[in-house]
Structure formats: C-alpha cells, structure tokens
Chain A
C-alpha cells in the first residue's frame, strides 16, 4: 500500500481522507448497525417474556385457548387479578415472603458483621482453624443438607420451651434461621473490615473504647456500603428461595410467594390467566425498586461471585 498518499493507510488507524475515509467510516457504521441489532435482539429476549405475560394476565383462561390464537385480547379484563386477591391467599404469601426475606436479611447482617469483625480484628486462640472450618462450608449445596436440616427443624420443633410455636416446621423462625448460615457474608465482612486502616482501631482502643463501641461507632459507619450490598444480595437470594420453603413451610399460613405461585400451577387444571397475573404482580414491585437502585443491585450480584 502506498503510504505517501494521505488516507490510504488502514493499518495504522490514522485519520485519512478521500474515498478511503468514507469507505472506512461506512464500514464502521455497518459494523455498529449490526452490533446494535444483535444487542437489541437480546434486549427483546431478556425483557420480552415478561412483557408477554401482560397478554394472558388480561384474558380469561378459556379465551387463551381460542383458535386461531391472539396476542391482543378482544375484551381485556382484570378478573384474574380480582381472583388472585379474592380467592387465593396472595396477600398472605406476599406478607410471608417479606417477613421471610427481611428477617433473614436482618439476622444475617447482624451475625455476619459480628463474626466478620471477630475474624478480622480480634485475636483469640483457634481463630484461623475456626475461620477455615467456616469457609470450607462456603459452597455446601442447599440440596445436600436439605433433609438433615428439615429433620433437625422438625425435631427441635417438638422440644418443650424452644419448640412450637416459636420454632419448628411451619413457623417463621424455623423458616428463617436455617437460611441465615451462609458463610459468604462472614467472609465478605471479614475482607471488608480488614481493609480499613488499623490506625483507627488503635486510636479508639488507646482512648479506652470497648470492642463493641469500636464496632458500632467506628466500623459500622465505614462499612455501610458493604452492608447495603450484602443486604440486597441476601434479600434477593432469600425471596427467590423455593426448595427450602417448599419443604419447611408448606402449610397454608406460612406459605411464601414462590411456593404459593407454584401451587397455582395445579396438578390437573391450571388457571393460566391467574398464574400470569400472579407472576406479573410479583415482578412489578421488584422492578420498581430495581430501577431506583440499579447500581446497588448489580454490585450486589457481582459481589456474590467476585468476592468469594
């Protein structure tokens, strides 16, 4: 290629003029066009299925099976939503889900911060061995300990004093406590607290502050962002949990949304319209919260994978 002519050198990426330049820019534009086309296709793939729910949610279950099938309902109706509130216990499921997820989040944050602080800043015999033991259970699959945990909760529930109605199958604490034990939070908190400057603790200790005072007055305000990230992560994991509530709280009074919605899909007859309405109703509040706090959500889910 003749590099003495301006604009003829494609390889170096310099600005060039004439026909070469317009061909270069044209090629770039085509490439960008196809890139955005592909990206938009996947945006439709990601959001489309949820938007499609609107159509069956606004029709009665029988008209869904009309032939030829239609996408837009002839006479949209809110009957499915009405049915959801009148004839199923949707509101009670939603309330149980909030109690379940919020309870798990609060207890997890509390225990994880304390344990993380101890592992990061306190000296005590056996610290490393204990931390290694805790960490070795980081990836224990829920399914592997499902039955023993179930048996344990069942047995504790039968004990006097600490058993029912406080703890056991079909109680809030029996549902919540086994979900608060993931070592991920302890690990995250330990890592985060140990990155704070040591001088802060030493200054506070010399001033005569107790460990508890240091934790609450100095450490907690500094790790607030990490707490929010961990909190969102735990909340999102918990309210999506299906397997544990399915076995531990199958009773009507303690059913959560995931189990409740699954129960709508009957063995023989399924009210598809109601199912669509329930799915939609469940996703709307989460979506609204997500749109306000997207950055935190993304950070939280990344923290789950990256900070291990």
Chain B
C-alpha cells in the first residue's frame, strides 16, 4: 500500500487537495448562483412573456390607470386634469350614484336568494328522482347558451305589452288589460330579475346537483336506518356537507351579479326614472354619454375594491375548506 507521500511525488493530488480545488470561494459561489438564477429567469421568460406582456398592457396598467383617473376629471374625450379627491368627495352626494348602488344591491339580494332557493330545490328533486336526470340537466342548462344580451332580447318578446306571451296568457285567463312590465318601477326590476334567473338557474342547478351527489351515500343510508325522514336527512347531512360549497358559490354569485349590465341596457336602459339603473350601467353611461367621467372612474374603482375584498373572501373560504378536508 502506497502512502500519501507517494501521491504527492507522482503529481496526483490527494483526496483533500482535490476537494479544496472543487470548492468555490464565497465570491465565486455567489457569482455562480446569480448566473444560475439568471439562466432560469431567461428560460422562464420565454414561457411567461406572451402572457405577461398582454397582462401588463391590458389588465395591470388599466387597473392602475383607473385608480389614477379617479383623481382626475375628463380624460375620455377631453384631456384629463387633476382634481384631487373631489370625485371621491362627491360620490356620496351624487343621488344617481347612490341610487344605482341601491338598485344593484336590491337586485343582487333578490336575484341570488330566488335563484339559489330554486336551484337547491330543483337539484334535490332531480337527485331524488333519478329518471330523466340527463334530460333535465340539458334542458335547464340550455338558456346559458344564449349570450346575456340575447336572453334579454328573448325576454323582451316574452314580456312585450302587445304580443308578449306572458300578457297573452294573462289576458286569456284573467281577461282585462295587459301588464306593462318594463315601464313601471317595481315590475321593471322584477322583469330584469326574471331574465337573470332564467339564464342562471340551470348553471346553479347543475352546481348544487354536483354538490348533492358528492354527499356520501353511506351517511344517508345510515341515517335512513336510524329512522331519519328525508327532510331531516337533507337538513342534517346534506346541508352541512354543502355549506362550504354554498358559501363559495354565494361570493362568486355576488361578484357576478354586481356587474349586471347587458339585460338592463336592452330591456329598460336604466329606466323608468333610473329605477333599474345599475352600477355598470352608470359607469358606461357616464363615460361614453354624459362625459362626467370623474365620478364614473370613482365608481369603477369602488367596484374594483369591493370585488377585490370579495375575492379575498373566496380565497379565505377555499383555505378554510382545504383545511377542513385534511
């Protein structure tokens, strides 16, 4: 066996010396690390660039620009000029703005209550009576194929004073005059709610049906054997299982419904007397017709903030849900 001295004399480094040569100094190490990070960044940027450029241009910058413009007046047709907090100070005085926020809130509460109530009811009916499940799924989903604006058109025909089928039926059965659905205040809002229910119902039925079908069958079996009637089973087993799903759906639905615009534009264009004007209708009208843009930007930033808070609520709910599962 040769000792270490022989190695040195032969010009071959010992194990220790080789290790020392392989090690980097702190400086070298840092430089190599930076090079590595730069290389990964370069490689990733090829994948990220197409999306991130578009995102920056058409989402991030517009968001920042909207916030900036809320401190300015004009800016769409005429050049903008700085007014500081004036727009924000005016938001609570403007009767139109308070009116549209009120209208939209009423719409959101009523539409979601009715559509969720009906959807859960219909979903449990389909769930309990399995024959024809697919037929009901397909037909109830069907209205979702129509863009919101076409849905509004279709309902314009249904509710028309002269030839709307709703009035034909009403006059046919009860006689008397037809009902002017879109020209009177509470009815006009009711008609808009009807349109949105028509479009949304199928989606939420499918949503809750999927939820109900995920309720563990053996739990329901066990409760049945213990003598629980069907309503009690629904209340004590299905409802708790569906609760997180329900909260999640609620937040999503609130976010969606606060953006009501298309059917209002088509059916009533905000009328009668601003009775069906919504926040988005207000923003659109102020920006592209009235040209009092400052307030419109303040309103859009308000909408943005409200939506962001609700989105945070969604993420929080999802975290709670995944915590509950583990």
Interface residues of A (CB under 8 A from B): 11-13, 32, 35-36, 38-39, 42-43, 45-47, 49-50, 52-53, 56, 64-65, 69, 71, 110-112, 114-115, 117-118, 122-127, 130, 133-134, 136-152, 177-178, 180-181, 183, 186, 211-212, 215, 236, 239-243, 247, 258, 261-262, 265, 272, 275-276, 279, 282-283, 286-287, 290-291, 294, 297-298, 301-302, 305-306, 308
Contact = CB atoms under 8 A, between A and B. Distances in A.
Contacts of B146: 50, 240, 283, 286
6 contacts: A122-B40, A143-B280, A242-B148, A243-B284, A283-B145, A305-B249
A124 B37 contact: yes
A130 B47 CA distance: 13
B184 to A, nearest CB: 20
Given A39-B125, A64-B162, A181-B55, A145 B147 contact: no
Interface string B80-120: 00000000000000000000000000000000000000100
A117 B51 CA distance: 12
Nearest to B159: A49
B224 interface: yes
B60 A137 contact: yes
B52 A115 contact: yes
Contact of A47 (B142, B160, B163): B142
Interface of B: 37, 40-41, 43-48, 50-52, 54-55, 57-63, 65-66, 69, 75-76, 118, 122, 125-126, 128-129, 132, 136-150, 153-158, 160, 162-163, 165, 167-168, 198, 201-203, 206-207, 210, 224-225, 227, 249, 252, 255, 258-259, 261-262, 265-266, 279-280, 283-284, 287-288, 293, 296-297, 300-301, 303-304, 307-308, 310-311, 314
Shortest beta-carbon contacts, A-B, top 7: A240-B147, A148-B62, A115-B51, A118-B47, A148-B65, A111-B51, A145-B62
Given A46-B143, A283-B150, A301 B310 contact: no
B135 to A, nearest CB: 8
B142 A50 contact: yes
A11 B224 CA distance: 8
A141 B149 CA distance: 18
A134 B139 CA distance: 37
A196 to B, nearest CB: 16
A124 B280 contact: no
Contact of A141 (B138, B293, B303): B303
A243 B65 CA distance: 19
A52 B151 CA distance: 13
A69 B163 contact: yes
Given A138-B311, A242-B147, A262-B266, A298 B300 contact: no
Nearest to B139: A43
Contacts of A152: 57-58, 61-62, 65
A242 B259 CA distance: 13
Given A64-B162, A152-B61, A180-B58, 19 more contacts: A13-B225, A43-B136, A53-B154, A114-B50, A118-B47, A124-B43, A124-B45, A127-B44, A143-B284, A144-B283, A144-B300, A145-B63, A146-B300, A148-B61, A151-B75, A152-B62, A180-B54, A265-B153, A275-B153
B44 A53 contact: no
A221 B26 CA distance: 44
Most interface-central of B55, B122, B158, B224 (chain A CB within 10 A): B55
A279 B206 contact: no
B225 to A, nearest CB: 7
Given A144-B301, A151-B75, A152-B57, A115 B48 contact: yes
A287 to B, nearest CB: 6
Nearest to B68: A148
B137 A147 contact: no
A148 B168 CA distance: 46
A272 B164 CA distance: 11
Contacts of A13: 224-225
A211 B303 CA distance: 41
A143 B37 CA distance: 39
A264 to B, nearest CB: 9
Contacts of B165: 52, 71
A137 to B, nearest CB: 5
Nearest to B262: A242
Given A211-B43, A272-B157, A242 B51 contact: no
B154 A49 contact: yes
A28 to B, nearest CB: 10
Contacts of A143: 259, 261, 279-280, 283-284, 300, 303
B41 A144 contact: no
Contacts of B75: 147, 151
B150 A279 contact: yes
Nearest to B163: A64
A39 B128 CA distance: 12
B178 to A, nearest CB: 9
Most interface-central of A46, A115, A290, A301 (chain B CB within 10 A): A46
Nearest to B134: A294
Given A240-B147, A302-B206, A122 B47 contact: yes
